[in-house]
Amino acid sequence: MSRERFEELVGEALDEVPAELTKMMQNVVIMVEDDSPPGEPTLLGLYEGYALTDRGWDYGGVLPDRITLFRNPILRICHTEDDVVEEIAVTVVHEIAHHFGIDDARLHELGWG
């Protein structure tokens, strides 16, 4: 799958996130990279930044948080475009949840592992 098509699917997944949530997302950018960081070949997505729940009175003047989806690791585990659409949706929800301060343990409990 081309990078352009993958990015289109990420955009479509983001369009499915309820407006009530996207309105609350602050200072965050969503990116696509081809490969995950060295030593993390199976990592599908990554949230880097300060979760909304960790931001205090002294939060300011910082670069945007980053949500990165890794195209090649996602494509490696998917067999069809429908699989890619589903995995992107799950990964987007998972990483957005981290922005809201939800940790991996709670995400696994909720079925978004």
- Segment 2-43, tens digit of pLDDT: 999 999 999 999 999 888 888 888 889 999 999 999 999 999
Tokens standing for residue 55:
């931001």
Measured between alpha carbons, how far is residue 80 from residues 22, 54, 67 in Å?
Answer: 28, 38, 24
Determine phi and psi for 26, rounding to 5 degrees.
-125, 130
CATH number among 2.40.10.10, 3.40.50.720, 3.90.330.10, 3.30.2010.20, domain 3-109: 3.30.2010.20
Residues whose CB falls within 8 Å of the CB of residue 48, separated by 6 or more in sequence, listed in order: 65, 66, 68
pTM of the model: 0.88
